[in-house]
Amino acid sequence: MKISIGNDHAGLDYKQAIITFLEAKGFEVVNHGTNFIESVDYPDFGHKVALDVENRNSKYGIVICGSGNGIAMTANKHKEIRCAVCWTKEIATLARQHNDANVLSIPARFTSINQAVEMVEAFLNTSFEGGRHKTRVDKISC
């Protein structure tokens, strides 16, 4: 399975740890994030990840910025994207189960790297429940 990942300068260490984790699990990772600590603009990376998922070049996306909000707002501008800002593995699980989230947004300044990896694992190991949640998810897109 292919996963796209993107980050700004705040998420560099997180991205590297997540890529290491994903590749060890056999995932193919497409890296759209910056590889430098110099300040960059998160939309440049969030749009690339969202396009990969929207165009079905990747099954899921992971985006990382300082608060997780700006890059999630960017990804959610894409019609087929349901990007959830998560700060615990339980929220990441619910984002998949109830919201069929296809992009996970991680707030690097408010979580540890270990928490981020746990969220990624929970996100990828959780299926959408459908049922009453599908009716709601079908109403999200404009």
**Is residue 60 within 8 Å of 28, Cβ to Cβ?**
no
Place of tokens 């959830």: 84
Query: Which residues, in sequence order, are CB contacts of 67 under 8 Å at separation 6+?
Result: 85, 107, 109, 110
The token pair at 16 is: 């590297």
**Is residue 64 within 8 Å of 105, Cβ to Cβ?**
yes
Kindly list the catalytic residues.
65, 98
Place of tokens 């997780």: 68
Question: Helix, strand, or coil here: 108?
Answer: coil
Place of tokens 């746990």: 118
